[in-house]
Structures are given as C-alpha cells and as structure tokens.
Structure 1
Amino acid sequence: MKTNAARILDNLGIDYELRPYPVDAEHLKAAEVAALVGLPPEQVFKTLIARGDRNGVCLAVVPGDGHLDLKALARASGDRRVELVALREVTPLTGYVRGGVTALAGKKDYPVYLDETAILYEQIAVSAGTRGLQIVLHPDDYVRASRAALCPLVQVA
C-alpha cells in the first residue's frame, strides 16, 4: 500500500522499503512494532507531537526504546518550555492517527527534530503514515525528506 509519505520519497528519488505489520485495536508500543518489522527498537523511531511556548507545534522523532527529554526539545526548538499535545489534538494537527504519525506529508509542515542517534545506523524505520506500515530508509534520506534538525532528544538515565 502506497501512502502519501511513500509518494513524497518517490518524488525525491529516495530509496526505501515498506514493511507492513499486523495491528489490532490495542496501540502497539514502538518496541513491539520493532520486533514485528525485524529491527531493534533503537532503529524504529516514533514521532511525537509537541507544542512550545514560543514557537508552537513541532515534531520530535525519537528511538522506540527512548524517552523524549522535553527540556532538550525546548532547547532545540528555541522554546522555554514544550509539552506533548493531548491525544485528542493529534489527528486535527497532523491528519494522522496515533501510531501512524509521520513527519512526511503531514497536514501542515511543522519543524521536525530527529534524535541524533539516528545517524548511527545504516537504516531506520518511521511510520509510513498509517498504523501497520513502516518505512525503512537511510537516516540521511529521512533528514532530507523531512528537513529534520539532528539534535539530542532522548533522556539519559
């Protein structure tokens, strides 16, 4: 199944692979999705929607086994404070449902911040814009397609 996110990559001439996985009524955690698509959790990135006090809505893309550091996102986005948006706002802001949010082909072009660990891998996976489908691609290609800024975003234990 081609999604708008995949079409964006096609238009940019970016190589990628679509990997479907089974979904049910329960929301799958990123680690579960990683197992289903055959990648370690640190290579399957989840897209979170946040709102800053100065610059508004942005997307934070972090590894499936990581937790977003809101202070780090605030520093990266030029905000004093950021908070994750409420679940009820996800679809109106992005056009995507929870578990299917992607920085590619969204309803609006929000700033994208990608955790810097992405560049450590030959390939990463991100949502293809629907639950049950991941896009696997080189992190440099994802940065180019999403115009993401690389920065540290994950809480350090």
Structure 2
Amino acid sequence: MVKTNAMRMLDKAKVEYATREYEVDEQDLSGSHAADMMGADHGSVFKTLVLKGEKMGYLVCCIPVDGELDLKKVAKAAKDKKVEMIPMKDLQGITGYIRGGCSPIGMKKQFPTFIDETARSYEEIVVSGGLRGQQIVISPQALVDFIKGEFASLIHF
C-alpha cells in the first residue's frame, strides 16, 4: 500500500484512521463502483466534489457516493448566492488531485469544506486517500475537526 500525502498528514497530526484498497477500473471511476469493490455500505462512502461560489470562491463538498448534490443547499451552507461545480479539467490544477482520487485532506490549499450531515449516522466513513484505489476510513467528527469543516445538508432526498 502506498502512503499518500493525505495519510502522512493524518499520521503527523496523530489522527486515527484506517485504509482500504480496491482494484481500480479505469472505465468506472465512480464512487459507487469503489463502494462495491470494497463491499462497503454506499451511504458510508463519500465522494469529494469541488465547487466555486460566487463570493466564497472554491469550496469542497463530501457527499455519499450515490447522493446527488443540491446546489441550493450547498449555497445556503456556504452562505453564498450561487455555487457551481468546477470543470473537471480544472480539478488537478486547483486541488492537486485527479478525478477518482480527490481527497478532502491535503489539497494544495485548505478550502472551506462541507460534509453531508448523513455522515453523522456512521461511526466511520470512507473518503478518498488521495490516489485512485486508496481510501481512508475515519470517524466523521475526526475528519471535520482535522479539515476544519462543517456538517451540512447537501444532497437531494
């Protein structure tokens, strides 16, 4: 297993976490596929999305892999009028991460981060470790505390 930058940051801060690996399918980089490959509850596996707010600038949302982002809810959480997803081609330049390996931990810059409130119903959630096929298993509160994020309602029901 490869130690990613995100994992090294958690180690340095003495934050408890575990890791999971799965076989990457270049044809299917979805979080749902990752959850299936790990045999994990889809509700506990979170994908990391990067958006840009009208006033706030870049922000990060972590939502369950099968969830659909509600841009109005995100804007409300971010106290912004309007937010939109960034173009995929800009992801690596902004975050340092590639699609399928974007972690809320260890981006080039720490952006305001919102974790969907459904994370609170799990003892542990799974987020990308910063590389395709590498995952971090962490308590939702430990993640929020480490990245100075906040829980918010972010998805359509």
**Larger deviation, residues 2-11 vs 27-36:** 27-36
**2:113: which partner in 1?**
112
Task: Quote the RMSD (CA, aligned, Å).
Answer: 0.9
Structure 1 counterpart SS, 2:20: strand
CA contact (8 A) 1:50 1:84 kept: yes
TM-score (norm 2): 0.96
Q: Distance in 2 between matches of 1:8 and 1:101?
A: 15
Structure 2 counterpart SS, 1:155: coil
Q: Distance in 2 between matches of 1:18 and 1:114?
A: 19
Q: CA deviation at 1:87?
A: 0.5
Q: CA deviation at 1:32?
A: 1.2
CA contact (8 A) 1:27 1:99 kept: no
Pairing of 1:1-157 with structure 2 (within 5 A): 1-156=2-157
Q: Which runs of 4+ in 1 moved over 6 A?
A: none
| Number of matched pairs | 156
Q: CA deviation at 1:16?
A: 1.1
**Larger deviation, residues 11-20 vs 46-55:** 11-20
Task: Give unmatched runs, 5+ long, in structure 1.
Answer: none
CA contact (8 A) 1:17 1:137 kept: yes
Q: CA deviation at 1:9?
A: 1.0
CA contact (8 A) 1:8 1:145 kept: no
For 2:134, the aligned partner's letter is L
Identity value in percent:
39
CA contact (8 A) 1:123 1:139 kept: yes
Task: Give unmatched runs, 5+ long, in structure 2.
Answer: none
Q: Distance in 1 between matches of 2:16 and 2:61?
A: 23
Q: Distance in 2 between matches of 1:29 and 1:39?
A: 14
For 1:127, the aligned partner's letter is S
